[in-house]
Amino acid sequence: MIRLLRALQGRLKEAGLPEGEALDLLALATGLSRKDLLLKLPEPPPPGAEERAWALLERRLSRYPLQYLLGEVEFFGLPLKVEEGVLIPRPETEGLVALALTLPLPPRPRILDVGTGTGAIALALKRHLPGAEVFATEVDEKALALARENARRLGLLVHFRKAPLTGGLTGLDLLVANPPYLPEAYREEAPPELRYENPLALYAGGEGLAVAWPLALEAERALRPGGFLLLELAPENVGKLAEALRERGWRVEVLRDLAGRDRYLRARRPPQEAEG
C-alpha cells in the first residue's frame, strides 16, 4: 500500500495536482476512511483496491473534480452530499457563514439563502442558529433535490422553495447568498474542473453582477429595516456593488477572505426606512 500511495502521489504531482489527493483516492478505492489509512496502511491492499485506485486516478487526471468522485464534502462541519452539475461548496463560502454568525440578529431570525445549491449555507446556519426560521430558494431542480436530501440526512429543518432570487419573501432579518459572480470572459481561462459544475451557478454576465445586482434590489423589499444583506462575490466586482448600494443609502462594508482578498459584502438596510 505504501508503494501504491507513493505511485499515486507521483502521478498527481506530475499532473500539477495536490499529492494529498492520493490518500482520498486510496480511501475511496479501499472503502476505508482517510483517518484509518493515516493510522495504518493495510498490507497487502484489499482485493481489487489497486485496480480501483488506478481507475479513480485516471478519472481525476482528466480533471474530474475530486469532490464528485468522493460524493461528499465537509462544509462548516457538516457532511454534504455532492453531485456532478451542482455547485461544489468551497472554503470561501464557509467564511460567509462565519460572518453571518457574528451579526446582531434577533433571537429567532428569519433568514433566506438565495441559490442554495447543495443547501450548504442554509443548513450550516440552521445548525448553528437552531431558533432561526431558515428559507432557501433555488431554480435548478437537481440542486433543490440534493439540498432537500442533505437536510433529511442531517435532520435539519429548512424551508426550500423552487423560485428565483428572494421568491417574494419579505420580513427577513438576513439575506445571504453565494450567487454566480464570475465574469463571462473567465470561461476561457477557468480550471477544467469547472466544466462539470452548472455554469448558471458560476457565471453572471460581463462584470459578474448580473445576478447579484437584481438580488440586491430585491433585498430592499425583502429585508426588514435594519436587516442584513451578506454576499460572497469576486474581488474584481465586490467593490462595484458596494458603491452602488452606498449610493442607495445602505451602510456597506467590504470584507476580506482568509487569503486577504476582498470577498464579502456586508450591507444593512437603513433602519429608518418604512417597510413596503
Binding site feature residues for S-adenosyl-L-methionine: 115-119, 138, 178
Residue 193 C-alpha cell reads as: 474542473
Sign of CA dihedral 199, 144, 229, 217: positive
Binding site feature residues for substrate: 178-181
Q: 238: left (phi > 0), else alpha (psi -120 to 50), else beta?
A: alpha
Identify which of 72, 59, 45 has the alpha carbon closest to the alpha carbon of residue 11. 59
What is d(CA 61, CA 67) in angstroms, rounded to the nearest whole number?
14
Q: What's the per-residue H, E or C state across 124-191?
A: HHHHHCCCCEEEEEECCHHHHHHHHHHHHHHCCCCEEEECCCCCCCCCEEEEEECCCCECHHHHHCCC
d(CA 165, CA 159): 15
Q: Which residue ranges make up the annotated binding site? A: 115-119, 138, 178-181
Q: How far apart are CA 63 and CA 99, in angstroms?
A: 32
